[in-house]
Chains A and B, each alone.
With several copies, the nearest count.
Chain A
Amino acid sequence: MSKTGYYGNWGGAFVPEILHETFRKLGVAFIEAKADPDFWPRYVELMGSYSCRPTPLTFAENLSRRFGGAKIFIKREDLNHTGAHKANNVMGQGLLVQRMGKTRVIAETGAGQHGVATATMAAKFGFDCTIYMGEEDVQRQRPNVFWMEKLGATVVPVASGSRTLKDAINEAFRDWVANMDCTHYVMGTVCGPHPFPEMVAWFQKIIGDEARRQILAIHGKLPARIYACVGGGSNAVGIFQGFLADNGVELAGVEAGGKGLASGLHAARLAGSDASPGVAQGYKTMFLQDEDGQMLDTHSVAAGLDYIGVSPILVDLWEQGRVRFSAATDDEVMAALQLTIRSEGIIPALESAHAFVQAFKEVGDLPPEEAIIINQSGRGDKDIFTIADAFSDPSWREFIRNKGEEYADGARQESD
């Protein structure tokens, strides 16, 4: 890092003065935790006994055969407790919160995955918990809201702005500036002001540590390429870290191409040319914004990739040429999802399916003695409403209609 909290030209900590001290203390706590020889082993132990780390590296034999190129391995973050890599970061931050003696956590959530993970962590550690979620996402991801509430969290629908992830982040900051004495803000990805990107990256590197060990053990050598979807960038940075020093390993980030880069309805910051440098939500990165610096609306079939900014760590690696970026369209994602489900009996999250798209496009070009790893950041069954919608599944629709009528009848009877 050239300057504290910077990755090349990116990152920093653009925070209101009221949070200066909070960030200072957080930075100190994080440095102390990193220096504490017991901390990382405790984290690994927690992830092993509460979640199911190490998560497997699955050989996708059928997909490999189909594409006839390199062997395809899938890193199974979907098998984590709560169903995604988000658990790694959240449980790590939970240990840090405990260390700092705080009693309440807040978080933003888009897809709901980070919200569920945070609410879960809060239940386990006995923290109070409030989750900010764009009103539109609350509508789209009701099952996750249900579980957060059952886990004891208060879910606050955010009605401002585009009523999605970025507005939930703003709202979480607004809560934090009021309550930072007792409250920790559990940032969900490798974005936001320093030390968040560094901290989240540190916890998520458990993915890369494991994957490196696993591929060497199974395949006998390093993989040719690694594919990861990029929303904020935490799962990508997590797995990439295991291979950054191995220059022979190509690292590929895949963003949300939405309805196509030309359509404007996407969330591609580094693939394509719609993004520009900016400072918002406390950090400097490439944002999807207009000429004035107002943030744009983004679109993706995957709520977890539907975000204006991207990790400063990744922007730096992209500028260095170490990580390359591409985008997968919604349609490509649905096709890759379908193929993966049928071929391997594995249901990637819509977010993760983006990584599969790019891998499928390219794996055939590699020789069979090579291997690639796709990071499956989460499981797709959380996305049933979105996936069933996208497939326009008629019996699902009928089921929901009947269920809706049943509830309507119930409500009528109660009011009689």
Chain B
Amino acid sequence: MTLTMSLSQDIKQVRKSKEILLMTHLVLGYPSFGINRQVITQMVDQGVDIIELQIPFSEPIADGPVILKANHEAINHGVRVGQCLEFAAEMAAQHQIPLLLMTYYNILFRYGVEDFLEQTKENSIRGLIIPDLPPEEGGQYLAACRRLELAPIQIFAPTSGKARMATLAAHGAGFIYCVARRGVTGSPTSFDENFNDYIKRCRQATALPLAVGFGISNRQDVDLLRGKADIAVIGSATIRLVDQQGPEAVGPFIAGLR
């Protein structure tokens, strides 16, 4: 992926050659930055298209038990926001795929929203996912992202109506993160009729690429998204894998997804 255009253009470019893109996720500093490095290298090597780097927060309200635990352990081991930003810069310098930061709003707020985003930009990060920052509360954030050409990824949910999707899409850039179902990260999703309708509604609401996340953990899930979404998001699954089988297991796992 060449990193010259906007994130959404980049994604559309890659999509021409791939039926579906993969976005993976990890929690910075969990279980350690060293292991994060190994995991990221394997992900990139196995053709992951985008990586979401989550800066741990003590109150990760939208995350399920696996990511929650990773957040808390990272903080308990002393992981600081500054370290996370440096690490992200290091990864961005090393790997040629778009990296995103994912975290909760308080992390930006305490750092100073403008400062945080400027640092993010400087670190060559392409965008951010902030699940507890709806556009109504994110005026300053959205403006700074626009100014800095960072993608403030917006989130659609099955409960979002047409007007709401339009509003969100208008504020979004890069792609839209479509939450596949009710609930938090980490438990399975059934990709049924309702899901198809939902994705159709998402498509109609935006020209941005669609990423689908929450509960995607194997090839079958990814296959089901082909032709419907542009990006499949693998979240808790890799963390669980590293917990259980160590970082070496990530490469083969990714290889088997697509």
Contact = CB atoms under 8 A, between A and B. Distances in A.
A20 B160 contact: yes
Interface residues of A, number: 38
Nearest to B136: A13
Contacts of A287: 106
Contacts of A174: 61-64, 183-184
Contacts of A181: 182
B110 interface: yes
Interface stretch (A109-117, A132-140, A274-282): A274-282
B132 A282 contact: yes
Given A18-B159, A180-B159, A279 B109 contact: yes
Given A17-B179, A18-B159, A279 B184 contact: no
Contacts of A160: 65, 68-69, 72
Contact of A16 (B61, B68, B110, B168): B61
Contact of B110 (A18, A170, A179, A289): A289
B105 A14 contact: yes
Contacts of A277: 109
Interface stretch (B52-60, B229-237, B250-258): B52-60
B161 interface: yes
Given A20-B164, A166-B59, A293 B159 contact: no
Interface in A10-37: 12-22
Contacts of B58: 161, 280, 289, 294-295
B161 A21 contact: yes
A414 interface: no
Interface centre among B106, B154, B160 (most CB of A within 10 A): B106
B157 interface: yes
Contacts of B179: 17-18
Interface size class of B (residues with CB under 8 A): 35 or more
B166 interface: no
Contacts of B110: 276, 278, 289, 291-293
A107 B258 CA distance: 42
Contacts, number: 118
B137 interface: yes
Given A160-B68, A160-B72, A166-B59, A20 B106 contact: no
Interface in A173-191: 173-174, 177-181
Contacts of A295: 58-59
A276 B105 CA distance: 15
Given A292-B80, A292-B110, A17 B134 contact: yes
Interface in B61-83: 61-65, 68-69, 72, 75, 80-82
Contacts of A177: 62, 182-184
B195 interface: no
Given A14-B134, A16-B155, A17-B155, A170 B80 contact: no
Contacts of A19: 159
B107 A293 contact: yes
B131 interface: yes
A279 B105 contact: yes
A17 B138 CA distance: 13
Interface in A330-363: none
A279 B80 CA distance: 18
24 contacts: A13-B134, A14-B105, A14-B132, A14-B134, A14-B137, A15-B132, A15-B134, A16-B157, A17-B168, A18-B157, A20-B159, A21-B160, A21-B164, A160-B65, A161-B59, A173-B61, A174-B61, A180-B159, A180-B182, A278-B106, A279-B109, A284-B109, A287-B106, A295-B58
Interface of B: 57-65, 68-69, 72, 75, 80-82, 104-107, 109-111, 131-134, 136-137, 154-161, 164, 168, 179, 182-184
Interface of A: 4, 12-22, 160-161, 166, 170, 173-174, 177-181, 276-282, 284, 287, 289, 291-295
Given A17-B154, A292-B107, A294-B58, 6 more contacts: A14-B132, A18-B179, A21-B161, A174-B62, A289-B106, A292-B80
